[in-house]
Amino acid sequence: MSRQTAPSRELILANHDFPGEYMIKAFGPNDAGFKAAVVRCATGVLSEARVAATERTTRSGHRCCVTLNLSVDTVDEVEAVYAEIHTLEALTLIF
């Protein structure tokens, strides 16, 4: 069995209505490549129109958080975005 890449399906369904908005925060190095890769992961599953991204850098400037606000129709889409982001080698934390 592969490692879990998203919160449990039951937890997502218990806390979110579908269709609706879903937020994912991905942390990694503060570089343009990481930021673009996180957004690419989401837009590879959803259309660009359904993904809004913002970023925030740590005080030290070494790390950043990319926040994705996703317009999703199903829990399957949420799980697919999590799975794509988990393929990023530079990912340090996601929730």
Q: How many CA atoms lie within 13 A of 56 on its CB side?
A: 7
Q: Is residue 76 part of a domain?
A: yes
Burial class (CB in 10 A: 0-12, 13-18, 19+), 28: buried
- CATH number of the domain at 69, please: 3.30.70.260
Q: Is residue 26 part of a domain?
A: yes
Phi-psi region of 16 (alpha: psi -120 to 50; beta: other; left: phi over 0): beta
Q: Is residue 2 part of a domain?
A: no
Q: Name the domain count of the chain.
A: 1
Q: Mind listing the pLDDT tens digit for each residue in 51-87?
A: 999 999 999 999 999 999 999 999 999 999 999 999 9
The answer to whether the predicted template modeling score (pTM) of the entire model surpasses 0.85 is yes
Domain with 83 in it:
9-94
Q: Is residue 18 part of a domain?
A: yes
